[in-house]
A and B are shown apart, each in its own frame.
Chain A
Amino acid sequence: MKNQESMTMESSKNQKGAGSGEGKLARCLLIGISVLFLLIMLVFPLVEVIYRSLKEGLKMYGDALTAPNTLSALGVTLIAAVIALAVNTFFGLCAAWLITKFDFRGRQLLSTLIDIPFSISPVIAGLAFIMTFGRMGWAKPLIDGVNDLFGTDISLVFSVPGVVLATIFVTFPFVSRELIPVMQAQGSAEEEAAAMMGAKGLTIFRRVTFPHIKWALLYGMILCAARALGEFGAVYAVSKARGKTFTLPLEIDALYMAGSADSITQAFAVSSLLVIMAIIILILKQIVEYRGKREQ
């Protein structure tokens, strides 16, 4: 996002400053700074990850990826990401709909509440979950009651459901934040027009609202998924069992912290997995952005 902004800024500068020596110099300087910054902050570290992961040969790389702990972490990460994505897409749509299409007391407050995960450190969120749903937490009897009633054995902290909850919390704002400006700009006149012609809520959403928001929705979902895959802090607070509830970022941390040369290489190998996922997401994001823009 940032990157793109600076690029469009540069291109507009390009047109204005073309010809004048000063403009040219400024342009070169800005490009130079940006490129240098990106190289140091992004490209070198990422290349390092790939390089390190492959340093001990492909066999080592493959072993690291198929280790039981890695596979377990991959599974937990994917479960958490998929559930968080589904839940947040649904609630994000609901929240954006509520905030943009209805006028009610406390709308501003709700809009602010949605942003809380952006402003609170994820670790605090994780700790808050422990305090609420953990052994000492006030909601613990509630969960016990549910477990007694259905004969289940659900636990919300130090377990996969806890990881999922923490991931949901951290990634909650992405979908609604992408949707709200688009839906606000659209207003509700088209929906009202559809209603005046006899259409019901679901038809209105499917035929009038959805075509308008689909690219923003997809974009929000991509951001949400990216963040869900990479989340560390909140998950770290509620997940303590390696091989059971660890996600990929936690597994990488554990491998790296083990300190042996092998485990560090393994850490980089697992990291490369996340990097590859990130690159796939980045490409998807570019495609969605491009198609969304073209359709406007």
Chain B
Amino acid sequence: MYVEMKHINKNFGDYEAAKDINFGVEQGRMVALLGPSGSGKTTILRMIAGLERQDSGDVVIEGKVVNDIAARDRGIGFVFQNYALFRYMTVYENVAFGLRVQKEEKQKIHSRVTELINLVGLEGMEKRYPDQLSGGQRQRVAFARALAPNPQLLLLDEPFAAIDAKVRKELRGWLKEMIAKVGITSIFVTHDQDEAVEVADDIIIINEGRLEQMGSPMEIYKKPKTSFVAQFIGTSAVLDDFSGFKGFEDLPKGKQAIVRPEFVEAFKSDNEKFKSLMHATETGVIKDIAFRGSYQELTLEVNGILLSTNRSLERRPVRVGEQMCVLVYRVYILDETDAEIHKNQLLKGVDIEAL
């Protein structure tokens, strides 16, 4: 493990920002700390950086406990949420700052700064001041500046929050590519799951100062371990009682269930492909059809409950008010803290994935 957090606790007055946080990040990985705002994810990042001190527990970097090492001596690159560029310095001076502080030779500084400015594609902007740059360009400067002193670890606090939505997507790809190119271990904080899924190798989900789950985006999506993760990731409808549905009669009563669009299949009653599964379906009426670009999102009323499903544009057209057969493959049943997957009992022995 390159970075390890061991039993980290941190309080700000009554507010618990971190409760017994444990995780490790391997060298060369790109990890996202994902959670709603106020969940404590930024505090965790700042504790790794040394900008905040944990009340108890150890921060370990490269096998060394760094609790008592000041931020400036940890050798970590940090990209701040609003970039915190030095507004009275030019782009060149911003990038050179870390090298100047370390009293590098002038020649060396010049070649390193030029190299980085070329890397992030800001040639010709060296003499500009931060307020003469666009949001995306500022992010590039912040990135180059953080990398200049050759850190072994890069931390990024909401790196895309200050950029408008249009450019954000493009920059995500850029940043992922850059980090892969440099090969630096990095941890970034975000509240946007799309961002985490798209950019990170691993995702750590934080809620109310607790680590809910760590894993690859696929793992977190397919096997949420806690009820929070099940609700936070993906789009999902939370239903109070699902035990009335066909195939789910044996569900424990009074527990909440989560149904994602991809758990639901809707088809016309004359559909040949699903003929063998007719016994497991309920009848639903289409209440709404929303066009989502490459697919349609259908909202169906089934047994007085609204479920949604995505329908490919290649399939036969449907209209509002039409009766459909609705099949639910599986649901997540929520406990106080855990999420458990329950399959449709009537589909036992059917190879759903082959459909």
Which residues of A pack against B, CB within 8 Å? 189-190, 192-200, 203, 207-208, 211-212
Contact = CB atoms under 8 A, between A and B. Distances in A.
A283 B205 CA distance: 59
B76 interface: yes
Interface of B is mostly: loop
B162 to A, nearest CB: 12
A195 B80 CA distance: 12
B101 A199 contact: yes
Contacts of B77: 196
Nearest to A105: B13
A28 B340 CA distance: 77
B180 interface: no
Given A197-B101, A198-B72, A212-B87, A192 B149 contact: no
A24 B116 CA distance: 59
Interface string B128-154: 000000000000000001101100000
A190 B84 contact: yes
Interface in B152-178: none
B218 interface: no
8 contacts: A189-B84, A193-B84, A193-B145, A194-B86, A196-B49, A196-B71, A196-B76, A196-B77
A103 B151 CA distance: 29
Contacts of A193: 78, 80, 84-86, 145
Given A192-B80, A193-B80, A194-B97, A200 B72 contact: yes
Contact of A199 (B51, B72, B80, B87): B72
Contacts of B51: 192, 195-196
Nearest to A193: B84
Contacts of A212: 87-88
B123 to A, nearest CB: 22
B84 A198 contact: no
B265 to A, nearest CB: 50
B72 A195 contact: yes
Chain B CB within 10 Å, residue with most, of A189, A193, A195: A193
Closest 9 CB pairs of A and B: A197-B98, A189-B84, A211-B88, A196-B78, A193-B84, A199-B101, A198-B72, A190-B84, A198-B101
B87 A198 contact: no
Interface in B60-103: 70-73, 75-78, 80-82, 84-89, 97-98, 101-102
B82 A195 contact: no
A101 to B, nearest CB: 12
Contacts of B89: 207
A196 B85 CA distance: 13
Contacts of A211: 88
Nearest to A201: B72
A105 to B, nearest CB: 10
Nearest to A211: B88
